[in-house]
Structure 1
Amino acid sequence: MSKPSDQPSLRWEDNAIVTLDQRALPHERRLLRLDTVDDVVTAITTLAVRGAPSIGLAGALGVALSAYAHCPPGTGGGQQAVHADARRLAAARPTAVNLAWAVDRALGRLADGPDAVLAEATAMIDEDRAVNRQMVAHAVQAVLDRCPQRSLRLLTHCNTGRLATAAVGTALGTILALADAGKVTEVLVDETRPLLQGARLTAWELAEAGVPHRVCVDSAAAAAMSQGLVDCVLVGADRITARGDVANKIGTYALVIAAAHHGIPFIVVAPESSWDRSLVDGRDIVIEERAADEVTSYAEILTTPRGTRAYNPAFDVTPASLITAIVSEHGVHHASEARA
């Protein structure tokens, strides 16, 4: 029987995309069926589907939905409509480069018909699973090289497991692999405000895998480091620039500053598709800013005085100089090597 982390997070079934609705977790395991491009855009923008690799795959499958809708086999028209849908899909979340990359790759097969677009998108799902396994193997070794001969207390932020990828995961996949090898004492999970991806999703995946863990508020992470509760920090990435600056879930920058101060390794685990070498450094990354009500209320209950404004960036940028290593399927890259 396959492990939970090996099970695909999304699939093509009966001319639709089927995935778990991540808004319902951890209390309800609800399948979501996406029949149209509008459904896919809504799922991505509302974070029903989230995680840089996963939204890329959903976007690619969304191009297939559009191709079948506008370019049925045996006809030559409709390509303009598919290109328009592809632009909408790519713009659904601007910070994660995987989305535009995957949409463009699927769109590149449009001239060969909708079956070819779908074949490309489904091939990308298989590739992502294989890439994640390679990446996790490199990342496990990177952690053990820096934290040898002891059982580890790890800290992670947001969700980077199979929910955020096709399967296996990136940073969380690495944590699960270390746990399988008997190398993990405990995982501290940042709750990841304001939408609690850590508390809702990462804790759910860790519980499913039977890995010891505790959830902490984001602002407790630095205190945990100061008390010797963290040996290594592992996070994912939504976009990595040519020189190795990393855009990731808001709160990552604060984590890396605390880790640097305490001399704790800070390792980013992300696939090659998260690199955007057209951007020199982090100042060039477009940071998505989300609706104020994500901060001013929770579960539709107002938590601030009525009319309060909010600063709600979805991501922040961590400079390469503070990162111990970036791991992809190609191996371990040190900050000093990223520019080269």
Structure 2
Amino acid sequence: MDNQTAIDFELYDRVRPIRWDGQALHLLDQRVLPFREEQVVCTDSDAVAHAITELVVRGAPAIGISAAYGVVLAANAVEAANGDSALKALEPAMQRLHDARPTAVNLAWALNRMGDTLHGAGADWREQLVAMADRIAKDDLLANRRMGVLGAQMMQPGTRVLTHCNTGSLATAGFGTALGVIRAGCAMGRIDKVYAGETRPWLQGARLTVWELAQDGLNPTLIADSAAAHLMKTGGVDWVVAGADRICANGDTANKIGTYSLAIAAKHHGIGFMVVAPASTVDMNTPNGDAIEIEERLPTELLSVGSVRTAAEGVAAWNPVFDVTPAELITAIVTEKGVVHAPSVATMRELFPQDV
């Protein structure tokens, strides 16, 4: 099924978290979903950086797209005759955007593309920035649809999948990465059952993934993170499908904390483990997972559920946001450029030779 038009993508993709109106960036506030749908309107780049840091917008591709429009907003405060002089003036704002979330490579990738656009640009450098930001968003949507089909083609009819965190429209320009595979698999009649882990401490699975799939008429089942291995043991899962915030040259993958545990359990139970991410997430300059900076957030996020404290006062907490899944635990990495089976330095280079 190579013809993507066989899928009615719009039917399975009703949510949009990012909207650019030509003057401001509108972000669907993911902190208050699923009970309220509110927009945060960003009119300058620092507001975009703050929204990224505070998880108004999250998901590596969505962060990159938002940062690109953040550069467009920063340009409003710059007077420059050409792109090269504008780039120098924009560097402080771009650095603040870069520092908003350090692990997601898409953020740096998008900022680099915006910077490259300015090199040699003439008096129309502002228009070129807008065009590049629009292109980054459009390309992400097209890539997600392509990945959805490629990943779903690996599954047999009747497949049951488990996913982690949120990797859908809310985390991208639309359709999603891992959730895009699930959407495509449902549309193609290959996926019969979808389980979503709750994803503590921010509960992206419980608050976002099951809500998002419900908007598309799908019927996911929520499980506690700690129930995943038991579900696998009882035969309830055929594939684990996860996203990625950074994929290294050897195939090691950084993703939401808890992904590593799922990969270990999947390997033990003989279950396929699929990572789905756009080529912009692949970082061939990072040799392996040991070189990835793992972001840690405030311990207070772990001590409460929402605004309700669940731990006694004075209790210490450790709150890493990501972990690294070694390549040997990954069955396949799906990108819009193709699929890397049994990822390693050699198989990664076959698909990404220009990045070495």
TM-score range, shorter chain: over 0.9
Shift of 1:72: 6.5
With 324-333 and 80-89 compared, the bigger mean Cα shift is at 80-89
Q: 1:309 to 1:104 in 2, by over 3 A?
A: same
Task: Give 1:133's aligned residue.
Answer: 145
Cα distance in structure 1, aligned partners of 2:281 and 2:96: 20
Partner deviation per Cα, 1:31-63 (whole Å, 9 max, x = no partner): 221111121111101111000000000001101
Q: Which residue of 1 aligns with 2:161?
A: 154
TM-score computed with the length of structure 2 as normaliser: 0.90
Cα 1:310–1:31, aligned 2, differ >3 Å: closer, same or farther? same
> How far, CA to CA, are the matches of 2:151 and 2:192 in structure 1?
18
Q: Secondary structure at the match of 2:274?
A: strand
Structure 1 gap ranges (5+): none
Of the structure 1 ranges 106-115 and 38-47, higher mean CA displacement relative to structure 2 is found in 106-115
Tell me, in whole angstroms, the C-alpha distance in 2 between the residues paired with 1:73 and 1:165.
Answer: 33
Specify whether residues 76 and 179 from structure 1 end up closer, same or farther in structure 2 by C-alpha distance, changes over 3 A only.
closer
SS of 2:285's partner is coil
| Structure 2 counterpart of 1:279, one-letter code | T
What do you get for the CA RMSD once the two structures are aligned? Answer: 1.8
Structure 1 partner of 2:3: none
For the 8 Å contact 1:72–1:114, the answer to whether it is kept is no
For the residues of structure 2 that align with 1:154 and 1:269, how far apart are their CA atoms?
14
Cα deviation digits, residues 46-92 of structure 1 (max 9, x gap): 11100000000000110111012223678996643411110110111
Judged with a 3 Å threshold, the aligned counterparts in structure 2 of structure 1 residues 329 and 14 are, in CA distance, closer, same or farther, namely closer
Change over 3 Å in CA distance of 1:137–1:76 after alignment to 2: closer
Partners of 1:247 and 1:136 lie apart in 2 by 20
What amino acid maps onto 2:189 in structure 1?
G
Asked if structure 1 preserves the Cα contact closer than 8 Å seen for 2:148 and 2:183, the reply is no
Which residue is 1:118 aligned to? 130
CA distance in 2 between counterparts of 1:227 and 1:210 reads 27
Unaligned runs of 5+ in 2: 1-7, 351-356
Figure out how many residues of one structure are paired with residues of the other and give that number.
Answer: 335
Quote the residue 1:312 is aligned against. Answer: 319
Residue correspondence of structure 1 range 1-340 to structure 2 within 5 A: 2-3=10-11, 5=13, 8-71=16-79, 79-110=87-118, 112=121, 113-142=125-154, 144=155, 148=156, 150-334=157-341, 335-336=343-344, 337-338=347-348
- The Cα of 1:8 is off from its aligned counterpart by 4.0
Compute the displacement of 1:338 (Å): 2.4
Distance 1:78 1:107 in 2: 9
Give the deviation of 1:331 after TM superposition: 1.1
Query: Which AA in structure 1 matches 2:129?
Result: V
| Equivalent-residue separation in structure 2 for 1:95 and 1:46 (angstroms) | 15
Query: How far 1:23 moved relative to its partner?
Result: 0.9
Amino acid at match of 1:191: E
Question: Which stretch shifts more, 28-37 or 280-289?
Answer: 28-37
Partners of 2:84 and 2:169 lie apart in 1 by 38
CA distance in 1 between partners of 2:221 and 2:291 (Å): 35
Residue deviations 1:122-162, cap 9 Å, x none?
Answer: 111111111111111111112x2xxx3x4121100000111
Residue 7 of structure 1, CA deviation: 5.3
Tell me if structure 2 keeps the 8 A contact 1:73–1:114. no
Contact 1:70 1:77 in 2 (8 A): no
Q: Which amino acid aligns with 1:315?
A: F
Compute the TM-score of the two structures, normalised by the length of structure 1: 0.94
Moved more, 78-87 or 263-272: 78-87
Report % sequence identity.
47
Segment drifting more, 4-13 vs 223-232: 4-13
For residue 108 of structure 1, give the secondary structure of its aligned residue in structure 2.
helix
